[in-house]
Structure 1
Amino acid sequence: MSAAKIPIRQNRTLFNSKFEGYKLSFLEESRQHFVAVGAPGPGVVVPKLPATAKLSYRQVQNRIRHNHLHPGWNSFKTHNGDVSNIKEPVLFAVDEDYTLIALQFDKTTHLLRSKRLVQIPVPIVPDNVYLEFPTVKPISPDYILVSDGAFNLYVVRIQIVGVEYEAVIEALTTFQPEESLQSEVMTPCGLLEAKAFPASSNEEELGMEIKFIVHYPYKEGFYSAEPSPHRKSDTKTVFVVSLCTVHLRGASSVSGRSGDTTMEVDPPSEPKLLFNTIVHSIRGTEIPFYCSLDPSGDGYVIGSNSTYKPTKEPVIDQITRYLEPGSEAMELDKTDVGAAPSSEPPYIWTQTDTDLTICFGIPRGTTKHAIQCKFLRQELELQVNLSQSTESMVRAPRLENMPLFDQIQPDECVWTLETSTGILTLNLEKKHSKTRWTQVFAEGVDTDPVEETLDPSVFAEYRSALEKYTSEQPNAAPGRDSSALPSVAQDAQEDIDEEGEEIKFSWVQAEDGTDIIRATTIGTGHDWIGQAFPSFESYPSENQPFRMPTVCLKHDVDGLVYSIQHKAGATPQPMSTVQQGEDIMKFVHTDTFDALAFVQASKREKRFVMHDPNGRFTAIVESSRNVYIYWHTPGAKLKQERQTVVDVSKGKQVDVIGCQLIGDGILVILMEGRHGALVLELD
């Protein structure tokens, strides 16, 4: 069953056509407070990689954008004036000695206190193995999951004793990829997400089920089903994302309010050793930069510039095999595009903002006189008439009035034929430029669409053939005058960062199988900006202990905020409608940050871009100096908003490595080493 296609729609009533700009302001020194982190220890120090480290571009990029300041189960909103559900806000960090540090904000004195809680064992790995960074994820009001950056994850209970937090390591679980079970070398993994859920009713003892998601590089370096669109050197770097589950007996407080926050913490004892189960694994060419479990526990949403495939799908040993012109894999066995029984695609295609290029493989030696191609406003007719004597395993494509995904400009469309290699190329001019096609043919007709080939190197051979048509008129065989042929594609840059690229979200079901990816967003030209600071408000009326963080996507010059919703228990049906698909994963445009896409594009040294969960501001944090706060008044369409600029370096050379909210309008900026943290009272 193919994944449902989910649109990302804009609510134009949330656009502000009257907006003119931001008015510059500064934050008073009295509202900026410095605190040493983990004193008398060294603070949070980021390990430097040796020059000989063999990490891919995507791995290095992931290390750069890692946030070393981690949230607790903090809540910034009250419900009907009830503040009992709001605990003392806390943040966490792990220092150079693997000591867990709590940063606790005193709402009375407005001061931040730093306390060393507990030390986790230092992982021991061979010299040529490079660890991921330690990560802390709040899984419930009273528990956090701490990854050591190697393969061990610690379940830590957090309680308030008096006025300060205390911590006890209650359990330990070790993650081991399925493919390395027979190996003596463990693979370091990075922790993406974790949450605790009530244990199922048939459990013998009360407890909680912890679901966690990790990522790691696949050692064999096979080609993925979709090449990376970023770097040629990255085409063999494949990352595996695994959903795992582990049970902790006797634990409570998995959602909603915390337990008795005044109880004494038991003396430390030997942590329980827990065995985890890998529910499933998916693979892709990037490490996702958005990953959130749904509060229902049905699954999770993953966001990246590329798509992912279940590891149980057959691995493509070499992607160029099925793209080779004239190969058996290029054949069309049936006239219905969606009914080709072979796992190989019947064609390949790519697109730019203005046109679409489709390549078919036909028998070599076929002449232009055998091609009958007609372009209509939103239909395509294609027939290749082969002589009976033609001996080839490659079948000819046959399309009769096939509806296209969107309208084209028939007079600007062309086809070309390379007789010697059997490449038939159709170049379609889009009527609606900048509209991203998610598939070539209409959704109702093509039920198993061919995915777009994003790697420009795959089309190099076809481009060279097409260039010959434009330069050597005697050898050309175009469907119209070859002098009028538009350029098919342009060379892509070798290095492209995630900014300015279309974001793809997928819903992944929390079960095993080959059809676990149940819904994916369709191309709408939205680019990634950032996500909300974590906030864990309970929604009793919805029976939800938390919500997935909202995301901010680029649309023209603005930043559009979307909530991601899932209807508990929803499952896809064959030929699902958009409405049925949105039961699985739905994007709701809730707010708009005016001109945010424009202003953030000018910040070339930005490290973090995150927004307030209540929609009041966006923070753009540079790597070594400034923090920019762009204010927003929800529900109002003002001509002018505020921009607050804070120089966190204070004239020193610093490296900003973390950023989180610790209270309503209270922003904490973490700097490396003994530079500590800076608290900004924005309100």
Structure 2
Amino acid sequence: MVYCNFAPTFRNIFEIPQEVSSIKSDLTEYPVALEISSDRMLVSDGSGRLYLSGTEEVYELTDKSGTLIPCRLLHTRQTETGLEVLITRRGPIPDAASKDAQTYELVALRLSSGTLREIWSLLGTSLPADIQYDHASEEYIISSPSPFRPSTAPEVLEPTPTKDEMAPIPAPGKILIQQVLPMTKLLLFHLRTHTLGHKRKIRVTLSKSYLTLHIISSASSIPLPKYAQCPWWAEIDSGASLWTWEHTPDERESKVGILTLHLEKKHTETRWSHVFSQSSNEPEVPETLDPSELANIREALEKYTSEMAGDMPSLANPDADEELDAPGQVGQRVLVMRVGAQTGKVEVDQREVSLLSSPVSSPKSGPPSLVVRRDIDGLLFTRSTSHWEHESTYSALSFVLASKRDTRFVLHHKDKMVLAFESGSTHGTGNVYVYRGHGKAKSQFSEQSVLGIADKESGSLLGVVMLKEGVFCCLCERRLIVLKGIV
């Protein structure tokens, strides 16, 4: 408990019964206590028992043989029919020789008058990265690296391109253009060329208005592409455009490669009917969609013909950069799903975003919100009624988070600030980095603060909550730390 002078005091409000047993399960989760009201808490011991403080009620999660099932308590809320509880539990452990992935169940329980009943369960191959509850729609907002599906439903497979959707490789001396993104933001211009196998023999100039391409070769059995200030159909962003050259996978043709010109359009809404201006007298270039885009379109069409879909994803990043968003980069790649609290019905809001921050836990929680990556920035989205709205932007947030290697929690408080907490486990010390927001206002500068919270004496950081506006409580292994005056 933290009083007005912000000095924490401790008192025993519930003691988890300790079972005396010589056998300890390796699957037991950490105990969790969640507040139901000012005088009631739901406590999980991690091994499968749930306790309602202030009462004698004890609920046990067991299998058909009566064995306790270890679980992790995620969320609880009071309803007219009882306590609605959300947990995760581990699925069957795959055999060591099996290629099957470990599965996890997301389970909704109802606790009432000493009776535990399972409402629904979903199956996935990873644990949720973030869970929030939307009171307006009575849905859980779940961010997870992999999707959850009903336990009885077949596994959702990624669409496989059909034969006519496979990426065509242009013949020697020919040109092929691919539209990679729906808004034709990024164009791939493939030239298959027989060179002497060295990148230095390729000369490319990507001007905003024209292309100059020359390949140095003393002899060639096929015509080599050559362009001298050939004008584009429309201007490109020369600073964002680039070119690459790679060998073909066939080692027998080690001197054969694919020259790729990545053209970023200056005006993203401009439609290109040709690659080059008609005044250049260049032959018309055939255009095709990228195979993955074709597969996604086919999947979407099948979905819309089978059942009506939900809202159009508004967390989508039309300017996603595959290189910047590759695994190992800042942020966690997740899917954002909505799950009906009563039905367990899953609706995918966004198939893949890079999650930078989740809202800090507090007694007065607002609407669901997420901070997702967009280039070097962090975009704050809030859930209102039936869609996501872009609330504000944390400029360069992705860039500054990239330098943090011991981050334990990244949490935001509305559009006011993002707090990056180091765990303190790597070197025995840990800081919290505070990045100020500017709301809807645009600014070239932002304030940053650094506070030390974890050290060798306090131990690693275990959790963070906000008690009231500007007062944060940080629980370490051996110390409770209160931060005030940050907001």
TM-score w.r.t. the length of structure 1 is: 0.47
Q: What is the CA-CA distance between 1:532 and the residue it aligns to? A: 1.2
Distance 1:656 1:500, change over 3 A: closer
Within a 5 Å distance, the mapping from 1:220-619 to structure 2 comes to 220-221=93-94, 236-247=101-112, 274-296=114-136, 298-314=138-154, 347=160, 358=166, 407=184, 412=190, 440-442=295-297, 446-448=301-303, 499-512=330-343, 516-523=345-352, 526-537=353-364, 547-565=366-384, 567=385, 583=386, 586-613=387-414, 615-619=415-419
Distance 1:637 1:193, change over 3 A: same
Residue of structure 1 aligned with 2:437, choices 632, 653, 656: 632
Distance 1:222 1:378, change over 3 A: farther
SS at match of 2:295: coil
> Equivalents in 2 of 1:133, 1:498: separation in Å?
29
The 8 Å contact of residues 279 and 510 in structure 1, kept in 2 or not, is answered as no
SS at match of 1:447: helix
Task: Identify unmatched segments of 5+ residues in structure 2.
Answer: 169-174, 193-247, 251-259, 266-289, 305-321, 425-429
1:311 corresponds to which letter in structure 2? Answer: S
Q: What is the CA-CA distance between 1:549 and the residue it aligns to? A: 3.7
1:682 corresponding residue in structure 2: 486
> Equivalents in 2 of 1:429, 1:406: separation in Å?
18
SS at match of 1:312: coil
Q: Deviations over 1:132-151 (max 9, x none)?
A: 11112223454322111111
Task: Identify unmatched segments of 5+ residues in structure 1.
Answer: 1-103, 157-167, 200-208, 224-231, 249-273, 317-343, 350-356, 361-373, 380-403, 419-427, 450-488, 538-545, 568-582
1:298 corresponds to which letter in structure 2? Answer: E
Matching of residue 622 in structure 1 with residue 422 in structure 2: yes
Residue of structure 1 aligned with 2:461, choices 651, 656, 661: 656
The 8 Å contact of residues 123 and 150 in structure 1, kept in 2 or not, is answered as no
Distance 1:650 1:432, change over 3 A: same
Q: What is the CA-CA distance between 1:437 and the residue it aligns to? A: 6.6
> Equivalents in 2 of 1:557, 1:606: separation in Å?
18
Aligned length: 369
Distance 1:664 1:170, change over 3 A: farther
Distance 1:611 1:184, change over 3 A: same
> Equivalents in 2 of 1:635, 1:645: separation in Å?
24
2:446 corresponds to which letter in structure 1? Answer: E
2:434 corresponds to which letter in structure 1? Answer: I
Matching of residue 119 in structure 1 with residue 34 in structure 2: no
SS at match of 2:446: strand
Q: What is the CA-CA distance between 1:607 and the residue it aligns to? A: 0.7
Q: What is the CA-CA distance between 1:345 and the residue it aligns to? A: 7.7
> Equivalents in 1 of 2:396, 2:291: separation in Å?
22
Distance 1:617 1:501, change over 3 A: closer
Distance 1:646 1:276, change over 3 A: same
> Equivalents in 2 of 1:432, 1:143: separation in Å?
57
CA RMSD in angstroms comes to 4.3
2:141 corresponds to which letter in structure 1? Answer: V
> Equivalents in 2 of 1:430, 1:212: separation in Å?
50
Q: Deviations over 1:27-47 (max 9, x none)?
A: xxxxxxxxxxxxxxxxxxxxx
> Equivalents in 2 of 1:510, 1:670: separation in Å?
30
> Equivalents in 2 of 1:432, 1:311: separation in Å?
43
Identical-residue share of aligned pairs (%): 20
The 8 Å contact of residues 412 and 418 in structure 2, kept in 1 or not, is answered as yes
Q: Deviations over 1:44-78 (max 9, x none)?
A: xxxxxxxxxxxxxxxxxxxxxxxxxxxxxxxxxxx
1:105 corresponding residue in structure 2: 2
The 8 Å contact of residues 166 and 291 in structure 2, kept in 1 or not, is answered as no
Q: What is the CA-CA distance between 1:443 and the residue it aligns to? A: 6.9
Distance 1:345 1:679, change over 3 A: closer
Within a 5 Å distance, the mapping from 1:211-226 to structure 2 comes to 211-221=84-94
Q: What is the CA-CA distance between 1:432 and the residue it aligns to? A: 6.9
Distance 1:191 1:649, change over 3 A: closer
1:279 corresponds to which letter in structure 2? Answer: I
> Equivalents in 1 of 2:444, 2:360: separation in Å?
26
> Equivalents in 2 of 1:410, 1:620: separation in Å?
38
The 8 Å contact of residues 561 and 590 in structure 1, kept in 2 or not, is answered as yes
The 8 Å contact of residues 89 and 105 in structure 2, kept in 1 or not, is answered as yes
Q: What is the CA-CA distance between 1:171 and the residue it aligns to? A: 2.4
Within a 5 Å distance, the mapping from 1:189-208 to structure 2 comes to 189-199=71-81
Distance 1:498 1:246, change over 3 A: farther
> Equivalents in 2 of 1:234, 1:664: separation in Å?
49
Distance 1:548 1:214, change over 3 A: farther
> Equivalents in 1 of 2:98, 2:411: separation in Å?
30
Distance 1:430 1:138, change over 3 A: farther
2:160 corresponds to which letter in structure 1? Answer: Y
2:423 corresponds to which letter in structure 1? Answer: S
1:313 corresponds to which letter in structure 2? Answer: A
1:145 corresponds to which letter in structure 2? Answer: L
Within a 5 Å distance, the mapping from 1:182-193 to structure 2 comes to 183-193=65-75
> Equivalents in 2 of 1:213, 1:113: separation in Å?
30
Q: Deviations over 1:318-353 (max 9, x none)?
A: xxxxxxxxxxxxxxxxxxxxxxxxxx887359xxxx
Q: Deviations over 1:187-212 (max 9, x none)?
A: 2011122111234xxxxxxxxx2211
The 8 Å contact of residues 167 and 291 in structure 2, kept in 1 or not, is answered as no
1:658 corresponds to which letter in structure 2? Answer: G
SS at match of 1:535: coil
Distance 1:155 1:358, change over 3 A: farther
2:26 corresponding residue in structure 1: 129
The 8 Å contact of residues 406 and 437 in structure 1, kept in 2 or not, is answered as no
SS at match of 2:46: coil
> Equivalents in 1 of 2:422, 2:332: separation in Å?
21
Greater percentage in helix: 1
Q: What is the CA-CA distance between 1:235 and the residue it aligns to? A: 5.4
> Equivalents in 2 of 1:657, 1:313: separation in Å?
36
SS at match of 2:111: strand
2:58 corresponding residue in structure 1: 172
2:83 corresponding residue in structure 1: 210
Q: Deviations over 1:75-131 (max 9, x none)?
A: xxxxxxxxxxxxxxxxxxxxxxxxxxxxx2222x33222222121212566324331
1:597 corresponds to which letter in structure 2? Answer: S
> Equivalents in 2 of 1:197, 1:297: separation in Å?
15
The 8 Å contact of residues 423 and 454 in structure 2, kept in 1 or not, is answered as no
Q: What is the CA-CA distance between 1:610 and the residue it aligns to? A: 0.7
Q: What is the CA-CA distance between 1:651 and the residue it aligns to? A: 7.0
SS at match of 2:447: strand
> Equivalents in 2 of 1:116, 1:680: separation in Å?
25
Q: What is the CA-CA distance between 1:590 and the residue it aligns to? A: 1.0
